Amino acid sequence: MTTLTDPPKGAFRPSMLLYDSRYRSLTLQAIAAIVLGLCFLYLYSNVAANLRAAGLNISYDFLGNTAGYDINQTLIDYSSQSSNWRAAVVGILNTLLVAFLACVTATIFGVLAGVLRLSPNWLVRKLMAFYVEIFRNIPVLIWIIIIFTIMTAVLPAPSAFRGENPDSTMLFDLAAFTNRGVYIPGPYFTRGFGAEGNGALNWLLVIAVLLGSLFGTRAVTASANAKQAATGLRPNTLWVNLGIWFVPIIVVLFALGLTWDYPALKGFNFQGGLKVGGPLIALWFALSIYTGAFIAENVRAGIQAVSKGQTEAAAALGLRPRRVMGLVVLPQALRVIIPPLISQYLNITKNSSLAIAVGYADITATLGGITLNQTGRAIECVLLLMLFYLTISLLISAFMNVYNNNMKLKER
């Protein structure tokens, strides 16, 4: 703490290592480094001895071997003959899928509940407080299990949909909620690039078109802003924007021949359509409502952090309550909300590892579960698992920090 402005002259003595503040910190760090090094050496020698005793060595060869197990929900082609590495990639994609879905819905739930907690309506306020307290104070694992139980034990079996007077019916003949998963109509293309007309290239094209529309509308808005700044008149951009959004995508979808594949009861189960498995829904919904409760508190704190004078000033300008919220309060509150929101997204990604409790095949369940148990490669699997989550965490926080920097108050 203390810094000497006029260091005493004199020859170096060993006691100065401890009593001279110039050298003391170096001494302490050296001691710490040696202790830490010894600890690592000790741990390493233990690991080496244990591995030798077990006849193992650290090797990642098992990743190339045949996995030999099936995965019920995959985004890319996978069979039990695929390699362990392929299984891990399937798991990674599944983790990313559920994390992305849960982030989106949790934000929606959280913002809704957070804003409604400040509603002038007493009943709604109390109801939302109830929601937040209930969901925050009960472990997410219990929520996942409860929703998974609803999915498997309460929803009817596919056989209940059969017969003249079935016990259950499909929703609008489009979606079926069964204990084996939810079946919804799935889109596919009759024409296009892929071999069977349903290749990933078609979807890439669709996404590219949507991205193009996004940039198009942003350009239109920017030019409208420039015109308003120059002339004071704002050109009407609604119809242009709607056109940019809808015309190209409709043309592309029509050109590719978009058709819907409806689920239908054939044999013992539903065939066709998209199957969203019970584990995915349980995990997705549970993570959303659980984290939504936390986000609601962040949103409420953010809104309350905006000085009341801002609301009053906006009202004095004659803005209506909805515009006060949208134009004055929320943009300022976002600055307070975004940093904790980033950690909530991180939490969702990390909590998605609870998939292993309901049998959703995410990276923890494939690489850290079945592959680990089959090959016995505990150290390698757990290290890869940690590496994956570390990378994801760092990426999410880096990405959101860029966004945060864009949103933050621009000062001189």
Partner 1 sequence: MSDTHAESIRFVRETTLPQAEPPVAERGIYKWGRENLFATPANGLLTLVSLYVIYLVLSGVLPWLLNGVWNASSLSECREILAGETGGCFAVLVDRWSQLFFGFKYPSDQYWRPTLAFALFFVAVAPVLFFDLPRKMLAFTAVFPFLAYWLIWGGPVLVPVFAFVGVVVGYLVYARLVTQSFAGGFFGGVAAAAVTWFIGGYLVEWTSGPTSMLEAVPSRDLGGYMLNFMLGVTCVSLSVPIGIALALGRQSSMPFIKWVSVVFIEFIRGVPLITLLFVASVMLAYFFPPESTVDLFLRVVIMITMFSSAYIAEVIRGGLAALPKGQYEAADSLGLDYAQAMRLIILPQALKISIPGIVNIAVGLFKDTTLVSVISMFDLVGMIRGPILASTDWNGVYWELLGFAALLFFVVCYGISQYSQWLERRLATDHR
Q: What is the binding site for partner 1 (CB under 8 A)? A: 1-2, 25, 28-29, 32-33, 36, 43, 46-47, 49-51, 53, 119-124, 127, 133-134, 136-142, 145-146, 149, 153, 350-351, 353-354, 356-357, 364, 368, 372, 378-379, 382, 385-386, 389-390, 393-394
Closest distance of CB 282 from partner 1, Å: 13
Closest distance of CB 346 from partner 1, Å: 8
- Map residue 264 onto helix, strand or coil: strand
3-state helix, strand, coil in the chain (%, to 5): 65, 5, 25
Closest distance of CB 274 from partner 1, Å: 28
Closest distance of CB 136 from partner 1, Å: 8
The dihedrals phi and psi of 360, each to the nearest 5 degrees, come to: -85, 135
- Map residue 188 onto helix, strand or coil: strand
Closest distance of CB 350 from partner 1, Å: 4
Q: Which is nearer to partner 1, 10 or 120 (CB)?
A: 120
Q: Which is nearer to partner 1, 263 or 279 (CB)?
A: 279
- How far is it, in rounded angstroms, from Cα 129 to Cα 121? 12
- How far is it, in rounded angstroms, from Cα 381 to Cα 370? 10
Closest distance of CB 205 from partner 1, Å: 36
CA nearest neighbour of 292 among 341, 233, 351: 341
Closest distance of CB 94 from partner 1, Å: 15
Q: Which is nearer to partner 1, 244 or 381 (CB)?
A: 381
- Map residue 193 onto helix, strand or coil: coil
For the residues of 41-101, what is the DSSP string, one character each? HHHHHHHHHHHHHHT-----GGGGSB-----SS-SS---TTSBHHHHHHHHHHHHHHHHHH
DSSP structure class, residue 377: -
Q: Which is nearer to partner 1, 255 or 378 (CB)?
A: 378
- How far is it, in rounded angstroms, from Cα 235 to Cα 214? 19
Q: Which is nearer to partner 1, 98 or 265 (CB)?
A: 98
- Element holding 275 (H helix, E strand): strand 274-276
Q: Which residues contact 232 (CB under 8 A, 6 or more apart)?
A: none
Q: Which is nearer to partner 1, 79 or 373 (CB)?
A: 373
Q: Which is nearer to partner 1, 193 or 399 (CB)?
A: 399
198 close to 189: Cβ distance less than 8 angstroms:
yes
Closest distance of CB 133 from partner 1, Å: 6
Closest distance of CB 374 from partner 1, Å: 13
Q: Which is nearer to partner 1, 141 or 253 (CB)?
A: 141
CA nearest neighbour of 362 among 65, 100, 73: 73
Query: Apex CA 158: angle with CA 154 and CA 163, to 5°?
Result: 115
- How far is it, in rounded angstroms, from Cα 361 to Cα 73? 7
- How far is it, in rounded angstroms, from Cα 257 to Cα 197? 9
Q: Which is nearer to partner 1, 191 or 350 (CB)?
A: 350
Q: Which is nearer to partner 1, 337 or 348 (CB)?
A: 348
Closest distance of CB 247 from partner 1, Å: 34
- Map residue 155 onto helix, strand or coil: coil
